[in-house]
């Protein structure tokens, strides 16, 4: 998940962009930097985070598993589950690429590795800890072993090819465990990628996209086809873990965001605009229904995701019209990190409160899911206002150098 407002000092035309600054905000991917005057924020990228989080919400809303399922009509449930089967993969891939882009865009030349790590920890882990404790106390404690709970606490649940461990306690939090690895590696990656000749960035970007596309092929070729993941899709647990969960493999998405940000900053990016990027993303999502499951999780949508992130940033820098720059969308983007971590908890809590056997019609199911969405937004607002933002303001700012 990516978090803060993103700022820059100049447009990505054919000139080198000025060093951007960053402003403390919500979700989970940029560092907090001191404000500088006359540097416009990339509010559209902040606003775009909420639709990405909503895609993950939609995926879980119709996931046909007992802790979540509400709809009693099997045929309708199967159809809706199919429609949103890859929405979670879309949202997660978007956030991974956005993380690399925003951290690079907001990086400060004089920043230290330890200062960066401190800011990331303060911004992400307190919210992660609150939602871990909330999920554990409300429902996960009844079926989660102490070892798995501790693995989640220390964000290492993604390092074993065990589906029920990877997606345990608060299931969406696995991606934060992956992002924690990104944050540890980012200072070194940025130093290395800054040495690339800007004229050669297009080759590195092409190579990164090719690596994402090749990952499912490697997973299918190297790992056994059984046992299958619980959702019944065409993937084994080990194939799914390698292609979709394993941090070093997902690092390619993050590195792609870094490379694209550098290309935009150096004026080496050919922008096709937000409309065409969105059209291609819709086409990429359609393609997920016609390729093997693991290809749909990342490969089919990775290029449109990259194009949309770069186009959205460019729209703000150049002052173009954007649907995501409005006050409401920016606010929703600010609370989207908390929303991402809370929505699964509210869904599971509702199912737990209703009992495991009661199922409902489509209109009632949709009404309950709408209510879950509203409650999650309100809870996210509170978590952002009372936990994330105060801690970032108190501990996330750069400390002045001693004289």
In the predicted model, is pLDDT for residue 250 greater than 50? yes
**Residue 363: per-residue pLDDT:** 97
Residues 6+ apart with CB under 8 A from 18: 8, 9, 10, 39
β-pairing, 3-6 with 22-27? antiparallel
Query: Burial of 14 by CB count in 10 Å (0-12 exposed, 13-18 middle, 19+ buried)?
Result: exposed
Q: Pinpoint the alpha helices (H) of 139-273.
A: 146-153, 163-166, 174-193, 201-222, 237-240, 247-265
CB 81 within 8 A of CB 64: yes
C-alpha–C-alpha distance, residues 123 and 89, integer Å: 24
CB 382 within 8 A of CB 389: no
Q: Is 211 helix (H, G, I), strand (E, B) or coil?
A: helix
Q: Is 195 helix (H, G, I), strand (E, B) or coil?
A: coil
Residues 154-208 pLDDT 10s: 999 999 999 999 999 999 999 999 999 999 999 999 999 999 999 999 999 999 9
Q: pLDDT category, 357, cuts 50, 70, 90?
A: confident
Average pLDDT score, the chain: 89
Residues 6+ apart with CB under 8 A from 177: 152, 155, 156, 157, 158, 247
| Number of C-beta neighbours around residue 87 at 10 A | 21
Q: Torsion angle, CA of 80/85/88/89, rounded to 10 degrees?
A: -160
| Residue 136 token pair | 């554990």
Task: Please give the share of the chain, as a percent, with pLDDT higher than 90.
Answer: 81
**Per-residue pLDDT averaged across 320-341, rounded?**
95
Helix (H) or strand (E) holding 5, with range, is strand 3-6
Residues 1-12 pLDDT 10s: 655 544 433 344
- pTM of structure: 0.89
Helix (H) or strand (E) holding 364, with range, is helix 362-383
Task: Tabulate helix, strand, coil % of the chain (nearest 5).
Answer: 65, 5, 30
**Per-residue pLDDT averaged across 261-269, rounded?**
94
Average the pLDDT over each of 11-20, 70-79, 108-117, 306-315 and give the range with the smallest value: 11-20
DSSP symbols for 64-119: -STTT--B--HHHHHHHHHHTTTHHHHHHHHHHHHHHHHHHHH--TT--HHHHHHH
C-alpha–C-alpha distance, residues 272 and 19, integer Å: 24
Of 258, 90, 109, 263, nearest in space to 185 by CA: 258
**Residue 31: per-residue pLDDT:** 39
In the predicted model, is pLDDT for residue 37 greater than 60? no
Average the pLDDT over each of 30-34, 76-80, 89-93 and give the range with the smallest value: 30-34
CB 377 within 8 A of CB 339: yes
**Per-residue pLDDT averaged across 138-145, rounded?**
95
**Per-residue pLDDT averaged across 234-241, rounded?**
95
**Per-residue pLDDT averaged across 328-344, rounded?**
97
Residues 206-221 pLDDT 10s: 999 999 999 999 999 9
Query: Burial of 288 by CB count in 10 Å (0-12 exposed, 13-18 middle, 19+ buried)?
Result: buried
């Amino acid at each position: 998940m990516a978090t803060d407002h993103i700022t820059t000092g100049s447009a990505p035309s054919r000139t080198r962009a000025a060093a951007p600054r960053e402003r403390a905000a919500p979700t989970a991917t940029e560092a907090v930097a001191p404000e500088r005057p006359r540097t416009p924020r990339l509010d559209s990228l902040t606003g775009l985070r909420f639709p990405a989080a909503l895609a993950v919400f939609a995926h879980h809303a119709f996931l046909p598993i007992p802790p979540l399922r509400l709809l009693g009509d099997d045929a309708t449930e199967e159809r809706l589950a199919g429609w949103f089967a890859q929405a979670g993969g879309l949202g997660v891939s978007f956030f991974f690429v956005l993380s690399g882009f925003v951290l690079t865009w907001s990086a400060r030349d004089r920043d230290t590795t330890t200062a960066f790590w401190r800011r990331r920890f303060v911004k992400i882990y307190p919210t992660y800890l609150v939602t871990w404790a909330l999920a554990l106390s409300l429902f996960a404690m009844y079926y989660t072993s102490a070892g798995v709970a501790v693995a989640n606490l220390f964000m290492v649940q993604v390092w074993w090819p065990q589906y029920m461990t990877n997606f345990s306690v608060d299931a969406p939090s696995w991606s934060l465990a992956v992002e924690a690895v990104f944050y540890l590696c980012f200072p070194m990656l940025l130093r290395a990628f800054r040495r690339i000749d800007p004229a050669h960035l297009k080759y590195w970007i092409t190579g990164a996209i090719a690596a994402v596309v090749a990952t499912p092929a490697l997973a299918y070729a190297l790992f056994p086809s059984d046992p299958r993941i619980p959702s019944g899709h065409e993937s084994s647990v080990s194939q799914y873990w390698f292609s979709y969960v394993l941090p070093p493999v997902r690092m390619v998405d993050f590195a792609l965001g870094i490379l694209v940000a550098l290309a935009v900053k150096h004026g080496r990016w050919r922008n096709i605009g937000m409309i065409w990027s969105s059209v291609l993303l819709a086409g990429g999502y359609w393609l997920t229904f016609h390729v093997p499951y693991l290809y749909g999780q990342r490969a089919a949508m990775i290029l449109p995701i990259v194009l949309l992130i770069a186009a959205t940033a460019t729209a703000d820098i150049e002052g173009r019209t954007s649907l995501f720059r409005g006050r409401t969308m920016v606010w929703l983007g600010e609370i989207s990190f908390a929303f991402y971590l809370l929505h699964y908890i509210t869904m599971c809590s509702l199912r737990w409160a209703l009992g495991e056997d009661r199922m409902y019609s489509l209109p009632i199911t949709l009404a309950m899911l709408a209510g879950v969405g509203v409650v999650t937004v309100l809870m996210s607002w509170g978590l952002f206002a009372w936990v994330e933002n105060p801690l970032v303001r108190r501990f996330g700012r750069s400390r002045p150098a001693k004289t």
